[in-house]
Amino acid sequence: MILVLAGTKDGRSLAESLAGMGFSVLASTVSDYGNSFFSGNVKVRAGELDHDSLQRLLKEKDIQFVIDATHPFAREISQNAIDVCQSEKIKYIRYERKETGNHLYTGLIQVKDFDEAVEKAGSYHSVFLTIGSRNLDRFAILKNQGRKVIARVLPTSEALKKCQELGFLPRDVIAMEGPFSVGLNYYMFKHYQANVVVTKDSGPEGGVYEKMKAAAKLHIPVILVERFRLNYPLLVHKTAELLKEIS
Protein backbone atom coordinates (compact mmCIF):
# COMPACT_ATOMS: atom_id res chain seq x y z
CA MET A 1 0.00 0.00 0.00
CA ILE A 2 1.06 3.59 -0.72
CA LEU A 3 0.62 6.27 1.94
CA VAL A 4 0.09 9.76 0.55
CA LEU A 5 0.49 12.56 3.05
CA ALA A 6 -2.02 14.71 1.23
CA GLY A 7 -1.83 18.16 2.71
CA THR A 8 -2.31 20.00 -0.59
CA LYS A 9 -4.74 20.08 -3.49
CA ASP A 10 -2.15 18.54 -5.80
CA GLY A 11 -1.49 15.88 -3.16
CA ARG A 12 -5.16 14.92 -3.16
CA SER A 13 -5.15 14.84 -6.97
CA LEU A 14 -2.09 12.62 -6.90
CA ALA A 15 -3.75 10.16 -4.51
CA GLU A 16 -6.80 9.97 -6.78
CA SER A 17 -4.63 9.46 -9.86
CA LEU A 18 -2.65 6.63 -8.26
CA ALA A 19 -5.84 4.92 -7.10
CA GLY A 20 -7.22 5.26 -10.62
CA MET A 21 -4.14 3.44 -11.93
CA GLY A 22 -4.89 0.51 -9.68
CA PHE A 23 -2.56 1.24 -6.77
CA SER A 24 -3.79 0.66 -3.23
CA VAL A 25 -3.69 4.15 -1.71
CA LEU A 26 -4.20 5.47 1.81
CA ALA A 27 -4.40 9.27 2.03
CA SER A 28 -3.75 11.07 5.29
CA THR A 29 -5.07 14.56 6.05
CA VAL A 30 -4.96 16.68 9.17
CA SER A 31 -8.71 17.30 9.39
CA ASP A 32 -12.03 15.80 8.33
CA TYR A 33 -12.44 18.82 6.08
CA GLY A 34 -9.63 17.53 3.88
CA ASN A 35 -11.27 14.10 3.74
CA SER A 36 -14.36 15.47 2.05
CA PHE A 37 -12.48 16.01 -1.21
CA PHE A 38 -11.76 12.33 -1.88
CA SER A 39 -13.77 9.82 -3.87
CA GLY A 40 -14.41 6.27 -2.77
CA ASN A 41 -11.36 4.99 -4.64
CA VAL A 42 -8.99 6.29 -1.99
CA LYS A 43 -8.89 5.10 1.60
CA VAL A 44 -8.66 8.10 3.90
CA ARG A 45 -7.69 8.75 7.50
CA ALA A 46 -7.79 12.06 9.35
CA GLY A 47 -5.77 13.45 12.23
CA GLU A 48 -2.32 14.84 12.88
CA LEU A 49 0.62 12.46 12.77
CA ASP A 50 3.62 12.73 15.04
CA HIS A 51 6.69 10.49 14.87
CA ASP A 52 5.20 7.62 16.90
CA SER A 53 1.73 7.62 15.36
CA LEU A 54 3.21 7.70 11.87
CA GLN A 55 5.45 4.77 12.73
CA ARG A 56 2.46 2.76 14.00
CA LEU A 57 0.45 3.60 10.89
CA LEU A 58 3.18 2.38 8.55
CA LYS A 59 3.34 -0.95 10.37
CA GLU A 60 -0.42 -1.44 10.75
CA LYS A 61 -1.17 -0.72 7.09
CA ASP A 62 1.92 -2.46 5.69
CA ILE A 63 2.99 0.70 3.85
CA GLN A 64 5.61 0.18 1.14
CA PHE A 65 5.96 3.76 -0.12
CA VAL A 66 5.39 7.11 1.59
CA ILE A 67 4.67 10.02 -0.73
CA ASP A 68 4.99 13.30 1.11
CA ALA A 69 2.70 15.78 -0.63
CA THR A 70 2.18 18.03 2.37
CA HIS A 71 2.32 21.80 2.16
CA PRO A 72 5.85 23.14 1.53
CA PHE A 73 5.69 24.82 4.95
CA ALA A 74 4.59 21.71 6.88
CA ARG A 75 8.14 21.13 8.05
CA GLU A 76 7.46 18.95 11.10
CA ILE A 77 5.46 16.19 9.37
CA SER A 78 7.97 16.07 6.51
CA GLN A 79 10.91 15.65 8.88
CA ASN A 80 9.03 12.98 10.85
CA ALA A 81 8.24 11.12 7.63
CA ILE A 82 11.88 11.20 6.56
CA ASP A 83 13.07 9.93 9.92
CA VAL A 84 10.45 7.17 10.27
CA CYS A 85 10.92 5.92 6.71
CA GLN A 86 14.66 5.75 7.25
CA SER A 87 14.29 3.74 10.46
CA GLU A 88 11.64 1.42 8.97
CA LYS A 89 13.47 1.09 5.63
CA ILE A 90 10.49 2.35 3.66
CA LYS A 91 10.98 4.41 0.52
CA TYR A 92 10.21 8.10 1.04
CA ILE A 93 9.38 10.35 -1.91
CA ARG A 94 8.83 14.07 -1.63
CA TYR A 95 6.29 15.32 -4.20
CA GLU A 96 6.45 19.09 -4.21
CA ARG A 97 5.28 22.11 -6.09
CA LYS A 98 8.00 24.12 -7.76
CA GLU A 99 8.98 27.37 -6.11
CA THR A 100 7.59 30.63 -7.43
CA GLY A 101 10.90 32.28 -8.31
CA ASN A 102 12.04 35.81 -7.56
CA HIS A 103 11.76 37.37 -11.01
CA LEU A 104 8.02 37.85 -11.18
CA TYR A 105 7.48 41.19 -9.51
CA THR A 106 9.82 44.08 -8.81
CA GLY A 107 7.86 44.87 -5.63
CA LEU A 108 8.76 41.52 -4.10
CA ILE A 109 10.34 41.46 -0.64
CA GLN A 110 11.77 37.99 0.07
CA VAL A 111 12.28 36.94 3.69
CA LYS A 112 13.70 33.79 5.27
CA ASP A 113 10.98 33.16 7.85
CA PHE A 114 7.81 34.51 9.46
CA ASP A 115 9.69 36.46 12.11
CA GLU A 116 11.45 38.45 9.40
CA ALA A 117 8.10 38.86 7.63
CA VAL A 118 6.62 40.42 10.78
CA GLU A 119 9.59 42.77 11.03
CA LYS A 120 9.20 43.91 7.42
CA ALA A 121 5.40 44.19 7.66
CA GLY A 122 5.81 46.47 10.68
CA SER A 123 6.90 49.25 8.32
CA TYR A 124 3.39 49.45 6.83
CA HIS A 125 0.10 50.66 8.29
CA SER A 126 -2.32 48.26 6.58
CA VAL A 127 -1.14 44.62 6.31
CA PHE A 128 -3.06 42.00 4.32
CA LEU A 129 -2.19 38.45 5.37
CA THR A 130 -2.69 35.53 2.98
CA ILE A 131 -0.73 32.99 5.02
CA GLY A 132 -3.57 30.94 6.49
CA SER A 133 -4.13 30.62 10.23
CA ARG A 134 -1.19 28.49 11.38
CA ASN A 135 1.29 31.37 11.82
CA LEU A 136 -1.26 34.09 12.47
CA ASP A 137 -0.20 34.51 16.09
CA ARG A 138 3.18 35.88 15.00
CA PHE A 139 1.49 38.87 13.38
CA ALA A 140 -0.85 39.69 16.29
CA ILE A 141 1.86 41.95 17.71
CA LEU A 142 1.32 44.31 14.78
CA LYS A 143 -2.27 44.87 15.91
CA ASN A 144 -1.00 45.87 19.35
CA GLN A 145 1.29 48.38 17.66
CA GLY A 146 -1.70 50.06 16.01
CA ARG A 147 -1.36 48.47 12.59
CA LYS A 148 -4.41 47.44 10.59
CA VAL A 149 -4.09 43.70 9.98
CA ILE A 150 -6.45 41.75 7.72
CA ALA A 151 -6.39 37.95 7.87
CA ARG A 152 -7.66 35.82 5.00
CA VAL A 153 -8.22 32.27 6.27
CA LEU A 154 -10.17 29.14 5.47
CA PRO A 155 -13.83 29.21 6.60
CA THR A 156 -13.34 26.53 9.25
CA SER A 157 -14.31 26.70 12.92
CA GLU A 158 -10.67 26.13 13.94
CA ALA A 159 -9.39 29.04 11.87
CA LEU A 160 -12.12 31.43 12.98
CA LYS A 161 -11.65 30.45 16.62
CA LYS A 162 -7.95 31.22 16.36
CA CYS A 163 -8.67 34.61 14.82
CA GLN A 164 -11.05 35.42 17.66
CA GLU A 165 -8.57 34.31 20.32
CA LEU A 166 -5.89 36.54 18.78
CA GLY A 167 -8.18 39.56 18.94
CA PHE A 168 -9.14 39.84 15.27
CA LEU A 169 -12.54 41.51 14.89
CA PRO A 170 -15.03 40.18 12.31
CA ARG A 171 -14.31 43.17 10.07
CA ASP A 172 -10.63 42.15 9.99
CA VAL A 173 -11.23 38.54 8.87
CA ILE A 174 -12.00 37.18 5.41
CA ALA A 175 -13.12 33.56 5.68
CA MET A 176 -13.02 32.15 2.16
CA GLU A 177 -11.59 29.16 0.34
CA GLY A 178 -9.44 29.74 -2.74
CA PRO A 179 -8.26 29.63 -5.40
CA PHE A 180 -8.52 33.39 -5.85
CA SER A 181 -8.30 35.05 -9.25
CA VAL A 182 -6.24 38.15 -9.97
CA GLY A 183 -9.46 40.16 -10.09
CA LEU A 184 -10.73 38.93 -6.73
CA ASN A 185 -7.35 39.50 -5.09
CA TYR A 186 -7.26 43.00 -6.59
CA TYR A 187 -10.71 43.83 -5.24
CA MET A 188 -9.86 42.58 -1.73
CA PHE A 189 -6.50 44.36 -1.54
CA LYS A 190 -8.06 47.57 -2.76
CA HIS A 191 -11.20 47.35 -0.60
CA TYR A 192 -9.17 46.88 2.58
CA GLN A 193 -6.68 49.57 1.51
CA ALA A 194 -3.72 47.22 1.89
CA ASN A 195 -0.27 48.79 1.92
CA VAL A 196 1.48 45.41 1.78
CA VAL A 197 0.53 41.77 1.17
CA VAL A 198 2.17 38.89 3.04
CA THR A 199 2.20 35.41 1.52
CA LYS A 200 4.13 32.14 1.56
CA ASP A 201 5.99 30.66 -1.39
CA SER A 202 3.41 27.96 -1.98
CA GLY A 203 4.21 27.77 -5.68
CA PRO A 204 1.94 28.38 -8.68
CA GLU A 205 -0.75 26.04 -7.31
CA GLY A 206 -0.89 28.11 -4.14
CA GLY A 207 -2.07 31.22 -5.99
CA VAL A 208 1.12 33.23 -5.50
CA TYR A 209 1.17 34.48 -9.10
CA GLU A 210 -2.37 35.83 -8.81
CA LYS A 211 -1.52 37.68 -5.61
CA MET A 212 1.55 39.28 -7.17
CA LYS A 213 -0.31 40.35 -10.31
CA ALA A 214 -3.06 41.94 -8.23
CA ALA A 215 -0.52 43.70 -6.01
CA ALA A 216 1.36 44.96 -9.07
CA LYS A 217 -1.83 46.60 -10.37
CA LEU A 218 -2.13 48.47 -7.08
CA HIS A 219 1.62 49.20 -6.86
CA ILE A 220 1.92 47.66 -3.41
CA PRO A 221 4.73 45.33 -2.28
CA VAL A 222 4.46 41.63 -1.52
CA ILE A 223 6.40 40.05 1.34
CA LEU A 224 7.18 36.48 0.31
CA VAL A 225 8.21 33.98 2.99
CA GLU A 226 10.68 31.51 1.49
CA ARG A 227 10.37 27.78 2.02
CA PHE A 228 12.18 25.82 4.67
CA ARG A 229 15.18 23.95 3.32
CA LEU A 230 14.86 20.29 4.24
CA ASN A 231 17.30 17.69 2.98
CA TYR A 232 14.80 15.48 1.16
CA PRO A 233 16.20 12.03 0.29
CA LEU A 234 14.22 12.05 -2.95
CA LEU A 235 12.38 14.99 -4.51
CA VAL A 236 10.14 14.92 -7.60
CA HIS A 237 7.92 17.56 -9.19
CA LYS A 238 6.03 15.52 -11.79
CA THR A 239 3.79 12.45 -11.68
CA ALA A 240 5.88 10.75 -14.37
CA GLU A 241 8.98 11.04 -12.18
CA LEU A 242 7.04 9.62 -9.26
CA LEU A 243 5.79 6.61 -11.20
CA LYS A 244 9.35 5.69 -12.13
CA GLU A 245 10.23 5.56 -8.44
CA ILE A 246 7.32 3.31 -7.41
CA SER A 247 7.20 1.05 -10.45
- For 180-214, the pLDDT digits (tens) are 999 999 999 999 999 999 999 877 667 899 999 99
Question: Where along the chain do its domains lie?
Answer: 2-98+229-246, 108-225
Q: In the prediction, which pLDDT does 84 show?
A: 96
CATH top class, domain 108-225: alpha beta
For the chain, the C-alpha Rg in angstroms (whole number) is 19
Q: Do domains 2-98+229-246 and 108-225 have the same CATH topology?
A: yes
The overall longest dimension of the chain from CA atoms, in Å, is 56
Q: For the sheet with 43-46, list strands across it.
A: 43-46, 25-29, 2-5, 65-68, 91-95, 235-236
pLDDT in tens, 43-91: 989 888 999 999 999 999 999 999 999 887 788 999 999 999 999 999 9
CA-CA distance, 125 to 56, in Å (whole number)?
48
If pLDDT is split at 50, 70 and 90, which confidence band does 41 have? confident
CA-CA distance, 48 to 4, in Å (whole number)?
14
| C-alpha 93 chain-centroid distance | 18
CATH top class, domain 2-98+229-246: alpha beta
pLDDT in tens, 138-191: 999 999 899 999 999 999 999 999 999 999 999 999 999 988 999 999 999 999
If pLDDT is split at 50, 70 and 90, which confidence band does 100 have? low
Q: What is the mean pLDDT of the chain?
A: 90
DSSP code of 5? E
What's the predicted TM-score (pTM) here? 0.76
